[in-house]
Amino acid sequence: MKFTWSYVPPLVLEAAIRHRVFDVLDAGPKTVKETAEATGASERGLRIIMNVLVGLEFLAKVDAGRYALTPESAAFLVSTKPGFQGGILTHASRQLIPKWLKLTEIVGTGKPEAAVNQQGAGVEFFQQFVTDIFPMSYPSAKVLAEHLQLKGDAKVLDLAAGSGVWGIALAQSSPGVTVTAVDWADVLPATQATVRKFGLTDRYTFVGGDLLEADFGHGHNVALLGHILHSEGEARSRKLLKKTFDALAPGATIAIGEFLVEDDRSGPLGSLFFAANMLVNTDEGDTFSFAEISAWLKQAGFVDARLLDAPGPAPLVLATKS
Ligand SMILES: C[S@@+](CC[C@H](N)C(=O)[O-])C[C@H]1O[C@@H](n2cnc3c(N)ncnc32)[C@H](O)[C@@H]1O
């Protein structure tokens, strides 16, 4: 029974985000009627979902029937705040759940209906999504930049750049950093838009194409692979790591952001769920353990595979080209 209504929290959160409930309560506590006036949504709808959000501890009932944000919703669900994580939730009902409804058939065949690791479905899926997940990785990218302490002219290769979040944090950390960002050509406008927003366009080169076909150039000091191995799957990830190794200068660092699983795949639950998300959305995708990724890195030629703790759901795996 515990799981019967498990799909309710993300859908209630999505509805509240889309109706700007957290945004209007950020200005101060409100009654349902005041929230309805501020958002244009129905009083009945808001009353019911706002009570669910109280039960989930994303809202609190304060005096005189007013509802207030809790510290967690104030930090992560107000769209104007830098920590806003609602982007990933607003994809649930339109982009993810419709595909998950086919899970029984997908388990039967082992194949998704549409695979986002392929350019056609992938471009449509990622064009907006990459910008929405920028806040998920930006704090980790800042930690990586702090850890690497890049100085002078450093060349960074940002693979599957998406919003450009990883390369942007490194470019911000030192004026000599230049970035080569690789992604499908039709997703690169999203990368370019974010890079422009941060005023970094003159330090960027953009390369459009499939990761196993695009020209990575050579002599890079850092390679960034943020949330890409899970959709590529083992065979393509191994090829990608070898290709990345060849594009790096001696002494360079590779940094991989991933939702890791325990060696025996008994947890953490979020990474096991994400493996199922890869089953639903990709041809060969999965989540992997530190031991598995370390072995692939070693086979590609890297040494000293290690973990860097980072804020958020994904630690970083680092290794060195000796
Ligand atoms: C989950 S997003 C990650 C974006 C970014 N690195 C981050 O951590 O936020 C995956 C990105 O990889 C790109 N991508 C996926 N498969 C690709 C492929 N085979 N060739 C080129 N780009 C690919 C997608 O367009 C998307 O921008």
**Best mutation site among 126, 179, 206, 284 for ligand 1 pocket (most ligand atoms within 8 Å of CB):** 126
**What is the pLDDT at residue 267?**
96
Question: From residue 228, how far is each of 205, 231, 259, 286 by CA, in Å?
Answer: 20, 6, 10, 11
Question: pLDDT tens digit string along 260-286?
Answer: 999 999 999 999 999 999 999 999 999
Task: Indicate which residue's Cα is closest to atom 15 of ligand 1.
Answer: 117
> Is the CB of residue 301 less than 8 Å from the CB of residue 232?
no
> Is the CB of residue 301 less than 8 Å from the CB of residue 245?
yes
Query: Which of the residues in the chain have pLDDT under 70?
Result: none
Task: Indicate which residue's Cα is closest to atom 13 of ligand 1.
Answer: 160
Distance 161 CA to ligand 1 centre (A): 6
Task: Indicate which residue's Cα is closest to atom 20 of ligand 1.
Answer: 210
* Cis-peptide, bond into residue 268, ω within 30° of zero: yes
Task: Indicate which residue's Cα is closest to atom 7 of ligand 1.
Answer: 226
> Is the CB of residue 272 less than 8 Å from the CB of residue 260?
no
Question: From residue 57, how far is each of 14, 67, 109, 212 by CA, in Å?
Answer: 15, 11, 39, 45
Tell me the C-alpha distance between 113 and 123, whole Å: 16
Nearest to 194 by CA among 109, 105, 129: 129
Ligand 1 atom with least separation from CA of 257 = 8
Tell me the C-alpha distance between 248 and 218, whole Å: 6
- Which residues face 223 on adjacent strands? 157, 254
**Amino acid letter, residue 53:** L
Helix, strand, or coil (residue 4) = coil
Nearest to 254 by CA among 320, 163, 310: 320
